Amino acid sequence: MIKVVLLDDELHCTELLDIILKNLDIKVEVIAKFNNPEYAIEFIKLNKFDILFLDIEMPSMNGFEVLSTLPQINFDVIFTTAYNQYAVKAFKFSAINYLLKPIDETELANCLQQWETKTQKKLPRNQLAFLLEIIQNTHNNSNKLALPTAYGLEFIEVKEIIRCQADSNYTNVYLSNGDSYLICRTLKEVENILQHHHFLRIHQSHLINPKHMKKYLRNDGGYIVMDDGEKISVSKNNKDKIIEIFSQIERS
């Protein structure tokens, strides 16, 4: 039996979610429902459960502020949100569970089934910190990025990234100072975050920062030489984009 707590400032949201959970073919017990964050915090501190369904946008105290008041997080969190598509990308990048409002029964069932297969069934604070950093970057167009490495989070300047290269379900990020990081994100996930900084996917396995392109050579099918000396083949669909970028540089 999965024990859950519901927190949303709107009564109809907690009631509807309660009804949907009871209709699922998954054994779920709603042990408490709250529309007041302060009451919820007191309950959470004193009780054990598996998942907190947490609304992000609450007027008196948002979901992140609720979590920050807790001395420890001994449960997992599924955020419920009406955030726009850019913030949703942040959730995907940080690998934190979320549901878009209005909540769909099928998506809810899938989310719980995925949770049951997880080995880590508590929300790590560093993962939460990473999500907050990504969301801040998304809203403020920040020039910093948090990279989830095997050792924690590395905060870097986006402008320092020369290129990103796929490695199965991981991505190698190469910086202008010679450092590189292997992060547990696919290249597609990295692309979703960096596309707002005008990074280009010039090949199935390569995402580049145009500001670090050194030269474009037409021979051997066409390839880019980056500032770190790496030669990257350009797919046919992207050759026109590359030529246009270099043309703009020449005219400027």
Q: Is there a domain that residue 182 lies in?
A: yes
Of 101, 132, 163, the one marking the end of a domain is: 132
> How confident is the model over 73-95, as pLDDT tens digits?
999 999 998 866 656 777 877 77
Between the CA of residue 168 and those of 88, 107, 182, 183, 200, what are the distances in Å?
23, 27, 11, 11, 19
Q: Is there a domain that residue 243 lies in?
A: yes
Going by pLDDT thresholds of 50, 70 and 90, the confidence category of residue 40 is very high
CA atoms in the 13 A half-sphere facing the CB of 29: 7
Of 102, 132, 162, the one marking the end of a domain is: 132
Examine the domain organization and report whether 48 and 126 are in the same domain: yes
Q: Is there a domain that residue 173 lies in?
A: yes
> How confident is the model over 138-152, as pLDDT tens digits?
665 567 787 888 777
